[in-house]
Amino acid sequence: MKRREFLKAAGAGSVAATALAAPAIAQANPEIKWRMPCSWPKSLETIYGGADMFAKAVGEATDNKFQIQTFAAGEIVPALQVVDAVQAGTVEIGHTASYYYFGKDPTFGFGTSVAFGPNARINQGWYTLGGGREVLNDFYKKYNAISLLCGNTGCQMGGWFRKEIKTVADFNGLKFRIGGFPGRVLAKFGCVPQQIGAPDIYPALEKGTIDAAEWVGPYDDEKLGFNKVAKYYYYPGWWEGGPISMMLINEKQWQSLPKSYQAALQAACTEVCV
């Protein structure tokens, strides 16, 4: 074979190989867009900011082939209906606190925090290394979802009260924004627990629909203005030693993702937790 003819043939083969490889690469990295409602208002650049940070990290890891658009509480679904939207497949993913759904099943409490429970470090260790993720995801199958740990708040405060609390008797008849298992504990003292989403807490306190509310801590609480309508602040919150923020993903949508995109989601959640 002559050298010139050999080089022409080799070049043609290289072009053909490149043409064949391109569709394979495109197929391995599909363009996907998900919607992610959150249980938080946009004013909280800590918790809601964590959701934005997660979505940005996923986009950067996939050359923006996989885009996740975040929505604040109420923009798509109310703050306390994120798990319902994920379960129904109305949305693909949601950022929330699982104990908001304690009324559906008390097991939801373990996904975020339980009264007299562990701090943030132990909670995260249990979830990632102690079998927590496997146990919870087995439970979440009932709701067509899988979970990823995506942030925590640290130990929370005891909350804002419109009147001073001096004795246990002062809880009798107190309408307190607190839910889940802690609400049941305080109900033993005559407290009336209320489960209210973040955007609705301030107006409820202001109007006197509730007498007290717990949320997170000084920074986030001030952002929501609770100090303007309730002057008594107590700490710590024994009911939340180290709450986990939970990413819930529709199981069918999760299974449909390429493994590389699943890994991108997990890595982005880890980044938010650090």
Q: State how beta strands 93-96 and 145-152 pair.
A: unpaired
Cα 50 to chain centroid distance, Å, stands at 9
Q: What are the residue ranges spanned by the domains of the chain?
A: 31-153+242-273, 159-234
- Strands in 192-194's sheet, in edge-to-edge order, are 192-194, 175-177, 212-213, 159-161, 232-234
Domain 31-153+242-273 CATH (choose: 3.40.50.880, 3.90.1170.50, 3.90.650.10, 3.40.190.170): 3.40.190.170
Q: Tell me what pLDDT residue 143 has.
A: 98
Q: Tell me what pLDDT residue 4 has.
A: 54
**Is the dihedral angle over the CA atoms 87, 89, 92, 95 positive or is it negative?**
negative
Helix (H) or strand (E) holding 3, with range, is helix 3-28
Can you list the residues of the chain whose pLDDT is less than 50? 1, 6-7, 10, 14-20, 22, 24-26
Domain 159-234 CATH (choose: 3.40.50.920, 3.30.1330.40, 3.10.20.600, 3.40.190.10): 3.40.190.10
**Token representation of residue 170:** 């002062």
Q: Tell me what pLDDT residue 83 has.
A: 98
Cβ atoms of residues 177 and 210 within 8 Å: yes
Residue 112 to residue 245: CA distance in whole angstroms? 6
* Fold agreement (31-153+242-273, 159-234): yes
Residue 89, C-beta contacts closer than 8 angstroms, at least 6 positions apart:
144, 250, 252, 253
The predicted model scores a pTM of 0.88
Q: Tell me what pLDDT residue 29 has.
A: 86
**Is the dihedral angle over the CA atoms 135, 38, 258, 151 positive or is it negative?**
negative
